[in-house]
Amino acid sequence: MRKANLEVGVGIFVLVGIACLVYLAVHLGEWEMFRRGYRVYAVFDNISGLKKGAAVEVAGVEVGRVEDIEVTPEYQAKLTLVLNRNVILHEDAIASIRTKGIIGDKFVKLSPGFGEQRIPPGGRIRETESAIELEELVSKFIHGKV
């Protein structure tokens, strides 16, 4: 009887430990297993250091993530963004690549726009602003092309 109680106690302890590990993996690893949203895409000339999983923000509030990055046949970067259902983008929305701080992570900043038509799920954000590369600006300044 005592051995059975010990085995049950160890089993419960192991299950609680596994549950804690799953919780930490989901919340600290930003694994969005149960999050629902819709996808839109945007095409940029240069995303310079933006990675999958990067934040998508509106007015400084995180409203989604970069789900996928691929290169188009025209050698541009096509981003697939997963946005929260409550985010409404209009036809004149603008997507920009920004940096948090001086040497911080890259993220996508959205200006939702105020046009009459909305961008449907699976639609495209037409207006984009590519990342600004400091090295490129310095090079242009040095060579007098500013």
Number of domains in the chain: 2
One domain for residues 25 and 46: no
Average pLDDT of the chain? Answer: 82
| Per-residue pLDDT reduced to its tens digit, 6-65 | 788 888 888 988 888 887 776 665 555 555 788 999 999 888 888 888 889 998 888 999
One domain for residues 66 and 112: yes
Residue 132 tokens read as 């600004």
Kindly state whether residue 146 falls inside one of the protein's structural domains. no
Domain coverage including residue 10: 1-31
Kindly state whether residue 45 falls inside one of the protein's structural domains. yes
Kindly state whether residue 2 falls inside one of the protein's structural domains. yes
Confidence of residue 72 (pLDDT cuts 50, 70, 90): very high
Tell me how far apart the alpha carbons of residues 12 and 140 are, in angstroms, rounded to a whole number: 64
Whether the model pTM is above 0.85: no
One domain for residues 61 and 26: no
Residue 28 is predicted with a pLDDT of 60
Kindly state whether residue 96 falls inside one of the protein's structural domains. yes
Kindly state whether residue 3 falls inside one of the protein's structural domains. yes
Residue 24 is predicted with a pLDDT of 75
For residue 80, the SS3 value is strand
